[in-house]
């Protein structure tokens, strides 16, 4: 039963201030165990999640202005690396959000960190092969923050095109609450017969495209993990498939959802 993960969707919020104390060894080990059980959306990405227990050690490796602006200082980090296969960013969002929700359920605060970190820095720091490219960081630690009470999100009607029923509205409500880079909420859902096609709305301009174009694909993967968890909760069996669809109105096709009867 995944009720606790569904509840975590409603509880999670980005935490940018952590208690100045380490998470217990017991909890860190249980997080490492959970990582082993998270299944990929695409098998050929070879995604790895690395827990950095000594966050300060990693902090000293990261330089640059953008890094300073975007990065939250935390006692620990999750470093995500992957092969750059097709769909590796969607795969990363999908897998890592599952862990973020597991940590939320354990009362551990998290924040996705999209600032750039050089491949070579991380490969050297963690002793990784060249094929393992840096994807994203998640900061985490104990927090004093309360549960989420308000959401700054677009309305569901602005995200959906086509006819949908109450059950699907409930499922997509969970997607609506997903975290996204600078809260850009790029996911759009087009209902077509027995399928829902997921599209990515483009960033507003060239600069935003440079900053969050790739991160928005991670955002899509995050929303897919929320959709899967909410579908299980309402007893719907779904499958994600990649079809050969073109962009619509400048929106890039990402993936489709099919309900298994």
Ligand X SMILES: Cc1cc2nc3c(=O)[nH]c(=O)nc-3n(C[C@H](O)[C@H](O)[C@H](O)COP(=O)(O)O)c2cc1C
d(CA 130, CA 21): 33
* Minimum distance of ligand X from residue 71's CB (angstroms): 6
- Nearer Cβ to ligand X (200/236): 200
* Minimum distance of ligand X from residue 180's CB (angstroms): 5
- Nearer Cβ to ligand X (23/62): 62
Q: In Å, what is the CA distance from 104 to each residue of 9, 12, 170, 238?
A: 8, 6, 21, 24
DSSP state of 132: S
* Minimum distance of ligand X from residue 29's CB (angstroms): 26
- Nearer Cβ to ligand X (113/231): 113
| Interacting residues with ligand X (CB under 6 A) | 13-14, 16, 70, 72, 111-115, 179-183, 215, 218-219, 222
Q: Is 182 helix (H, G, I), strand (E, B) or coil?
A: helix
- Nearer Cβ to ligand X (218/255): 218
* Minimum distance of ligand X from residue 236's CB (angstroms): 25
* Alpha carbon of residue 37 to chain centroid: 17
Are 140 and 74 in contact, with CB atoms under 8 Å apart? yes
d(CA 239, CA 132): 28
- Nearer Cβ to ligand X (31/219): 219
Tokens 């690396």 locate to 81
* Alpha carbon of residue 242 to chain centroid: 19
* Minimum distance of ligand X from residue 257's CB (angstroms): 20
User: Which residues face 79 on adjacent strands?
Assistant: 50, 137
* Minimum distance of ligand X from residue 261's CB (angstroms): 32
- Nearer Cβ to ligand X (75/179): 179
Of 214, 221, 204, 232, residue with least CA distance to 255: 221
Kindly provide the b/e burial profile for residues 19-39, where b requires at least 16 CB atoms within 10 angstroms of the residue's own CB.
eeeebeeeebeebeebbeebe
Residue, CB closest to ligand X: 179
């Amino acid at each position: 039963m995944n009720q606790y993960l569904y509840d975590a969707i409603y509880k999670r919020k980005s935490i940018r201030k952590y208690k100045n104390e380490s998470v217990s060894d017991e909890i860190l080990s249980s997080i490492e165990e959970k990582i082993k059980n998270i299944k990929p959306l695409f098998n050929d990405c070879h995604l790895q999640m690395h827990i950095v227990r000594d966050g300060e050690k990693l902090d000293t490796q990261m330089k640059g202005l953008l890094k300073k602006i975007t990065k939250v200082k935390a006692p620990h980090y999750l470093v995500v690396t992957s092969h750059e296969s097709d769909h590796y960013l969607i795969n990363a969002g999908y897998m890592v959000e599952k862990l973020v929700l597991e940590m939320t359920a354990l009362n551990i605060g998290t924040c996705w960190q999209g600032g750039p970190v050089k491949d070579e820095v991380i490969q050297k720091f963690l002793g990784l092969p060249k094929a393992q490219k840096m994807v994203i960081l998640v900061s985490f630690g104990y927090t004093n923050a309360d549960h989420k009470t308000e959401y700054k999100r677009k309305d569901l009607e602005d995200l959906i095109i086509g006819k949908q029923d109450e059950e699907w509205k409930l499922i997509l409500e969970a997607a609506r609450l997903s975290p996204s880079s600078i809260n850009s909420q790029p996911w759009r859902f087009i209902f077509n017969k027995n399928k829902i096609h997921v599209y990515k709305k483009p960033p507003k301009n060239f600069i935003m495209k440079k900053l969050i174009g790739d991160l928005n694909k991670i955002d899509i993967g995050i929303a897919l993990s929320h959709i899967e968890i909410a579908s299980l909760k309402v007893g719907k069996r779904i499958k994600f498939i990649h079809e050969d669809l073109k962009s619509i109105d400048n929106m890039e096709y990402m993936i489709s959802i099919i309900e298994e009867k």
